[in-house]
């Protein structure tokens, strides 16, 4: 330390010299004019796992080995470092530098890992690395072949990974502005210059930088869901539960083909359920409860073959129950209670008798949504004042009577017995 040479290899009869090579045998070579010096006609020298810092020159190779060139770093990202070098060489990658000697040339202080170049000389070292690597850090590399190690490469500055979804950040910005992001309960790092979107509150990204999850539940979102949300092609999870969102559910949500869970409950969303949601073939949970949705349940929801949980309760949905829902054989929960649904329970709905089900508080359904009676084959409750009962052959004619639920007679699946005085 503090000498002309940190390590100086003189004349030797040895065929090779090894400096460092494994944990516990590495050297810390710092504050020298030359970190490691190798005169001409020196033996082959392997330099591995040493720490160079603040040297005026790191490794001084002799002229007779100048043909063995240092590798070149072409990509330096926080999840991968890649480049070119001598074919089949062993490439060691290091983080460069020390804050106390910013003028020192590139040299490897902190070991990050080792990788092997292929026959074309291409090499890649992927995370996790042997030490922490941050954006803005500089990295260098050496290459070793035939027991001979090169000088250090030129420095490369670490950047964020290139993303396969370059527009995801623009979608999030549009979402932020559309839902009054400035007044969210928590908007940590949103729209902060230099902060990757994976650090924004509620946002998760994958290794390629694509948004895979958004959880902004109970976060005081106020406004409308922008149509641009449909451009988050890798999104698998969206939770906007318990906010103050208004407007409609965008048709563009049907483009989120990787979505597995969608929670929009307890908002002020209105309009109809978009039929486009029926394209979400990977969806497992759909929660559109406690909204202000109107109109029929779209038959397209019958296409959600992987759906396990369906919550549509506390809305103003009307019309008949789509018979096609009975094809959702993976359902473990179905709750359509507290709507304005009408008609009969389709016979196919018998598949829901042994799962968690709820249809109550639908006055237009048999028994107001008495699904237990349907499952047990009981007739809906009917109160009659029979003035006349006429039996003619196999027909039972009832006239001048009052029924508790209009249309319930049409929902009788089985007429078990009838006792009457025939005239």
Nearest to 127 by CA among 138, 117, 115: 115
Place of tokens 């949103």: 190
Q: What is the pLDDT along the chain (423 residues), one digit of tens a residue?
A: 456 766 666 555 555 666 766 555 567 777 777 767 766 555 566 777 777 777 777 677 665 554 467 899 988 888 788 888 889 988 989 888 766 777 778 787 888 989 999 888 888 888 788 888 888 888 999 888 877 788 888 888 888 776 678 789 889 999 999 999 999 999 999 988 767 888 999 999 987 889 999 999 999 999 999 999 999 999 999 999 999 999 999 999 999 999 999 999 999 999 999 999 999 999 999 999 999 999 999 999 999 999 999 999 999 999 999 999 999 999 999 999 999 999 999 999 999 999 999 999 999 999 999 999 999 987 554 433 333 333 334 444 455 544 444 445 557 654 444 444 433
How far is residue 402's CA from residue 418's CA, in Å, rounded to a whole number?
A: 18
Dig out the tokens for 146 from the structure.
């035939």
pLDDT at 49: 73
pLDDT at 283: 98
How far is residue 59's CA from residue 33's CA, in Å, rounded to a whole number?
A: 10
How many CA atoms lie within 13 Å of 188's alpha carbon, on the beta-carbon side? 7
Are 302 and 278 a contacting pair, CB within 8 Å?
yes
How far is residue 192's CA from residue 144's CA, in Å, rounded to a whole number?
A: 43
pLDDT at 370: 96
- Set out the domains of the chain in order of their start, with CATH numbers: 5-157 (2.60.40.10), 168-376 (3.80.10.10)
pLDDT at 409: 55
Nearest to 248 by CA among 225, 217, 221: 225
Place of tokens 């503090």: 2
Model pTM score = 0.61
ω into 155 cis (within 30 of 0): no
């Amino acid at each position: 330390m503090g000498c002309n040479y940190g390590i100086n290899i003189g004349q030797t009869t040895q065929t090779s010299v090894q400096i460092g090579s494994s944990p516990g045998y590495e050297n810390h070579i710092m504050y020298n004019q030359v970190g490691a010096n190798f005169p001409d006609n020196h033996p082959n020298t392997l330099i591995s796992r040493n720490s160079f810092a603040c040297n005026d020159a790191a490794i001084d190779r002799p002229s007779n080995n100048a043909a063995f060139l240092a590798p070149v770093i072409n990509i330096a990202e926080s999840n991968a470092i890649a480049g070119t070098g001598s074919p089949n060489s062993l490439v060691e990658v290091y983080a460069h530098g020390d804050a106390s000697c910013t003028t020192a040339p590139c040299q490897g202080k902190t070991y990050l890992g080792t990788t092997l170049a292929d026959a074309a000389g291409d090499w890649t070292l992927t995370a996790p690395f042997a030490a922490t690597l941050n954006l803005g850090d500089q990295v260098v590399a050496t290459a070793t072949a035939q027991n001979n190690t090169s000088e250090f490469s030129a420095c490369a500055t670490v950047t964020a990974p290139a993303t396969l979804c370059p527009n995801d950040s623009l979608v999030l910005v549009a979402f932020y502005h559309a839902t009054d992001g400035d007044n969210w309960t928590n908007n940590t790092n949103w729209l902060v210059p230099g902060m990757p979107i994976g650090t924004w509150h509620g946002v998760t990204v994958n290794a390629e930088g694509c948004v895979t999850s958004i959880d902004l539940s109970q976060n005081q979102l106020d406004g409308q869901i922008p149509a641009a949300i449909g451009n988050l092609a890798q999104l698998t999870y969206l939770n906007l539960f318990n906010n103050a969102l208004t407007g409609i559910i965008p048709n563009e949500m049907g483009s989120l083909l990787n979505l597995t869970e969608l929670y929009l409950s307890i908002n002020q969303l209105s309009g109809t359920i978009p039929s486009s949601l029926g394209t979400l073939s990977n969806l497992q949970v759909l929660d559109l409860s406690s909204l202000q949705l109107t109109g029929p349940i779209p038959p397209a929801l019958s296409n959600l073959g992987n759906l396990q949980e369906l919550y549509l309760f506390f809305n103003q949905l009307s019309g008949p129950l789509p018979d096609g829902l009975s094809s959702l054989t993976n359902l473990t929960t179905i709750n359509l209670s507290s709507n304005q649904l009408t008609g009969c329970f389709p016979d196919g709905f018998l598949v829901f008798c042994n799962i968690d089900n709820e249809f109550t508080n639908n006055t237009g359904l048999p028994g107001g949504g008495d699904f237990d009676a349907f499952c047990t084959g009981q007739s809906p409750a009917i109160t009659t004042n029979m003035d006349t009962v006429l039996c003619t052959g196999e027909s039972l004619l009832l006239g001048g009577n009052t029924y508790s639920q209009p249309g319930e007679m049409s929902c009788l699946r089985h007429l078990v017995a009838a006792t009457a005085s025939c005239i």
